[in-house]
Amino acid sequence: MTTSAPPVGILPLQSIRDLISQGAITSQTPFDADQIQPASLDLRLGLKAWRVRASYLPRGRKVMDRLKYVQMHEMDLTKGAVLEAGCVYIAELQEHLNLPAGVSARANPKSSTGRVDVFVRLLTDEGALFDDVAESYTGPIFLEIVPQTFSVLVRTGTRLNQLRLKTGDVPRTHSVDCEVDLTGPMVGYRARRHAGVIDLDHVGGHDPRDFWEPLTAKDGQLLLDPGEFYILASKTEVVIPVDEAAEMLPIDPGVGEFRVHYAGFFDPGFGTAEAGGVGSKGVLEVRCHEAPFLLEDGQTVARLVYEPLTEKPEKLYGQSGSHYQKQGLKLSKHFKNWS
């Protein structure tokens, strides 16, 4: 397949649509109308998943060839399946890639996936890194799924991650530090252990009180307990210009014994006046590691890095409906509003 190489940068939705029309991205079923986001493509679970004993990287071999060494049992996703907390799964995705020369990709969990503490990573045949898709990659793609706090119900078509496509070696234009906000009557939520199952396709279908405990801070400080999962918000308002995209990177471990943000992509238009998002905050998914850690209001916990798009997308984040535009402290879309 011969295609003209676009300028260096992240591909907007119209370019993703072009790749689909050229056959560079195909699917087992027709693409959904809302599957293409302003600067990313939602990926959908396929027909099967496998419970495995351990995570792995293909490293020069095919994903399915290595699966046989760790496979425990096969699961039919067409009927729906519960993925249990603390277990590791590999699932096939409906989409298949045949990327042209000069085009590579990177995957990340969707915001709603990270906010329920489900850790997901993309695998490609012969891949040596999670989430990275090599230039000109041709082959199937798979998803490692690790629910960490809540057991979740998924099925064929459930969207857990997204793919950001790019051309060339995309430069980072600038970065912004994100500070945590521990002011106000409620500063965050802590996940409840031994809660029920979350249906990841049921929007607004769960009572947040069954899954979350609201948190207050004392003197602008919050003590994080090892192994616990928290939802907090940034003090910084997040703005993603219409001609850029951003990714929130995990915190440098030298700053604290915790990890922030599993779901890292921010699409162009998030938080902008043009897309009706002025005042949008970044929601932070925080997991404390080995030792208790005293978090302070205004402490830097993550960093947003910005990259250019090849051109402005035809539609900005939030212009056709969004659960998270103009958000403050907010749980995932699966929960009713806290009242």
| SS3 state at 114 | helix
Residues 161 and 221 in one domain: no
In a domain, 1, yes or no: no
Residues 156 and 187 in one domain: no
Specify the pTM: 0.94
In a domain, 337, yes or no: no
In a domain, 331, yes or no: no
pLDDT for 339 equals 72
Residues 138 and 222 in one domain: no
Residues 37 and 99 in one domain: yes
In a domain, 68, yes or no: yes
Contact 87, 148 (CB under 8 A): no
Residues 160 and 181 in one domain: no
Residues 160 and 199 in one domain: no
Contact 305, 175 (CB under 8 A): yes
In a domain, 336, yes or no: no
CATH of the domain at 52: 2.70.40.10
Contact 268, 245 (CB under 8 A): yes
pLDDT for 258 equals 64
In a domain, 53, yes or no: yes
Residues 52 and 117 in one domain: yes
In a domain, 325, yes or no: no
Number of domains comprising the chain: 2
Residues 204 and 261 in one domain: yes
In a domain, 319, yes or no: no
- DSSP β-ladder status, 152-154 and 198-199: parallel
DSSP secondary structure string, 314-335? SS-TTTT--SSTT-SS---TTB
The whole domain housing 156 covers 9-167
CA torsion sign for 95, 156, 199, 337 is positive
Residues 284 and 258 in one domain: yes
Residues 259 and 160 in one domain: no
Residues 277 and 295 in one domain: yes
Residues 139 and 213 in one domain: no
Integer Cα distance of 226 and 270 in angstroms: 32
Encode the chain (339 residues) as per-residue pLDDT tens digits.
455 555 899 999 999 999 999 999 999 999 998 999 999 999 999 999 999 999 999 999 999 999 999 999 999 999 999 999 999 999 999 999 999 999 999 999 999 999 999 999 999 999 999 999 999 999 999 999 999 999 999 999 999 999 999 999 999 999 998 899 999 999 999 999 999 999 999 999 999 999 999 999 999 999 999 999 999 999 989 999 999 999 988 666 555 556 766 657 999 999 999 988 888 899 999 988 888 999 999 998 888 999 999 999 999 998 877 888 888 899 999 999 887
Which of 121, 150, 167 is the C-terminal boundary of a domain? 167
Which of 167, 201, 220 is the C-terminal boundary of a domain? 167
pLDDT for 1 equals 47
pLDDT for 279 equals 87
